[in-house]
Amino acid sequence: MRCTYAFLPLLLFYAAALNAQTADDRQLIEQARSLYSPNALPAYIACEATVDWDAAVEQLGLPQGEDTQRGLELLKGMKIAFVTRGESKTEVTVTGDERLAGQKKKIRQQITAFFHAYWTESDGRFFPGVDDAYQIASTPEGYLITRHMKNGIVGTLQMDTSFLITSARAVGSMSNLVLTPKFARESDGVLHIREMLIDYRFGESRSVASYSFDYQDEGGFYIPHHVKMSIPGALSFSHTFKNCRVLDKDNAPASPTPDHTTG
């Protein structure tokens, strides 16, 4: 699962730079940003989670029998909860049979990797900030935003003429990361990211991960609900986040509590 963390350098695309832009540049960026993020994300999201183990086992093609059924019941008996505070601050607790140590670790890695990508790419965070340095160029497709970072990373963001983001790229001397997102307009009228395909190359190595998900409305915030995580050559996993709470800094729990997870 280490490859699911390979897209961490994408954060460099969002690092602050020094030079201010023209009024027209800022107006275009804010016009685009308004389609994605009229409201801030909650400070914390706390949920219970379940995995569709029937679908996962079916992918393995295991014969139906008592051994398979016993293993499936063990998997379904795991309890999962998490608190996520941002791309680098997701805590996942998984309890269950001690023989499932490997599966518990994978679940923690999957949920942590998903929220790293989700927090990084959601809520209009694609776009440069007020004090960031960037260039905007017109293209046949729409607009290309380019940022040159001090560490040699060049980040680009491609939008069509309606400001729909179609791709993002971060290129360094040895790395090349391409993010292909898909957005959908939810009932709140805002474009929310629904799919992410992440393709990362570093030297001779390459890793690819994809996520697709829908949303639930919790306290006026749209947060992930059903999440499918896939890596080529590996099983895909379908998670459901339920019994969620959105929290501010004053009432966030110190750690997730899976003991009350049901179903």
3-class secondary-structure state, position 257: coil
pLDDT digits (tens, 9 = 90+) for 214-244: 999 898 888 999 999 998 877 789 999 999 9
Contact 82, 91 (CB under 8 A): yes
Specify the pTM: 0.79
- Low pLDDT (below 50) residues in the chain: 1-20, 260-263
- Model pLDDT, residue 49: 97
- d(CA 117, CA 213) in angstroms, rounded, equals 12
- Model pLDDT, residue 95: 95
Among candidates 115, 70, 94, which has minimal Cα distance to 257? Answer: 94
Task: Tell how strand 175-185 and strand 191-202 pair up.
Answer: antiparallel
Cα angle for residues 222, 225, 228 (degrees, 5° grid): 130
Domain segments of the chain as ranges: 2-260
